A = this chain, B = another copy of it.
Amino acid sequence: MSDHREPPAMPVQAFEPPYYLAVFTAVRTADQDGYRETNARLEDSVRSIPGYLGMDYAQSPAGLAITVAYFRDAEALDRWRTDLEHRAAQRRGRAQWYRSYSLHVAKVERSHGFTREG
């Protein structure tokens, strides 16, 4: 189902606020030509950005895909937003891959994590 590399089944941790996150929610079209390759390149690219903290990804059976990317500060997120290959992928996404999407860029004010013992 996932076109992403299978992520480890662990959520990205809660960091010390403030930090930033971008929630990208999308429903894709039937034409996914080139999506997988572009996505793999972009995943490598975002990892190289100083201040990139991690990414959560999941897709529902009905086809809703949620990506949450975490960044240490607004500068790191802005560097990702304005990355040239990312911008080209955004244009191609609107032209070809996405039926509908929403982007929410937000500053984390509070966070909390839990991991079961043992």
Contact A105 B108 (CB under 8 A): yes
Which chain B residues border A56 with CB–CB below 8 Å?
23, 25, 64, 66
Contact B106 A21 (CB under 8 A): yes
Question: How many positions in chain A have a CB within 8 Å of any CB in the partner chain?
Answer: 51
Contact A12 B58 (CB under 8 A): no
> Do A14 and B103 form a contact, CB below 8 Å, given A23-B21, A68-B68?
yes
Which chain B residues border A68 with CB–CB below 8 Å?
23, 25, 66, 68, 104
Contact A102 B113 (CB under 8 A): yes
8 contacts between A and B (CB under 8 A): A8-B62, A9-B63, A14-B102, A21-B23, A21-B104, A23-B56, A68-B104, A103-B113
